[in-house]
Structure 1
């Protein structure tokens, strides 16, 4: 009868050890994939719109194309009929997001202005930063998720920095985000690589 409490205690200690290992060694890489220390700690356009974030993920990639070949892909992102998110569409659509990544520029979405909305979902984001070839950001209607993209010239190419700032009201949401973080990296890494491929092709083919 005494072994059951001991087994439970050992299990809890194991879970705690795994959680601490993730927090100390794995989470920093998950939340800053591809970003330099300077990029991960920099103040970026749009940060001031959600200053009290519970979590921040800053991920980045080098694109061998100038900012003007990158920006068009950012501003047309969103559910159909917009350009999708250049990631694993089948996963997005399991969640009913109606994402269909395109390989062409959509002229009708190339001139966003602050206040534009992206789609018509309950948490519909709106454009809060639109600086051509420099920065683009959206904020959800509830004000809890800011997603920004910053384009920094890098030699003949561009450093594309994606930052998610989010608030998580309530303990349940904070705990629920822990297993979501690695999943978000899988999706965002594919997105960044998808943008890179498209921008480089655009720059090459004109």
Structure 2
């Protein structure tokens, strides 16, 4: 090995951590705060929302918002029919539904939703969201409690607490907006254990992934509620 090559390798080893630190600074100070509050006003960021009381102490939270071109009564039906085996999530279907398109219409059979109901999150049904709070045309809060080792959901208070888990809420809050629109504010809040594992995962992967998926959902909901909701045809065809 030449002297020039031997000198270059330590320099490379020093530059790699330096580059990570240089990138981490702007992300923590500028990018991350904007991802966690995308589209939200100062009032929306600072206020409490229904469902926050389920996690009075949380490792992380976010408030993202958008204005949709339809009143709450027209937006609500699209939200209550969400679920892997129902209308989907209106986000990146290739990522959260294995390429199955989310519904492009309101389906009457999926409009009955009750507190405590489970909404399947995966094809095998091993994980799900639970409807934690429900106030028609105003609030829908979904809760997730996931065992990280098995990838299965668990029921707090009934099942043993897993050694590694993540638990939290995904809340949708609707308020009338000017010119007949809806202000849709999406609130997340949760925690995980062991914190040395779940916290870095949340900051580096979970939060950016949620932001990307949530912004996509906003975009797709805007297009859906902007047109007239068509009832599902009996045979499922257009």
Aligned residue in 1 for 2:115:
114
Aligned residue in 1 for 2:192:
168
Normalised by the size of structure 2, how large is the TM-score?
0.76
Counterpart of 1:133 (choices 122, 134, 137) is: 137
Displacement of 1:23 in angstroms is 0.5
Aligned residue in 2 for 1:31:
36
Please list every run of 5 or more consecutive structure 1 residues that lacks an aligned counterpart in the other structure: none
| 3-state DSSP of counterpart to 2:28 | helix
Normalised by the size of structure 1, how large is the TM-score?
0.87
Counterpart of 1:186 (choices 192, 212, 216) is: 212
Displacement of 1:182 in angstroms is 2.4
Preserved CA contact (<8 Å) 2:174 2:183: yes
Displacement of 1:172 in angstroms is 2.1
Displacement of 1:61 in angstroms is 0.7
Displacement of 1:20 in angstroms is 1.7
1:13 aligns with 2:18: yes
Structure showing greater Rg = 2
Deviates more, 1:176-185 or 1:49-58: 176-185
| 3-state DSSP of counterpart to 1:85 | coil
1:158-194 per-position Cα deviation (integer Å, ceiling 9, x unaligned): 1001112121222222222213332322211111111
Aligned residue in 2 for 1:198:
224
Displacement of 1:14 in angstroms is 2.5
Please list every run of 5 or more consecutive structure 2 residues that lacks an aligned counterpart in the other structure: 1-5, 147-155, 157-166, 232-238
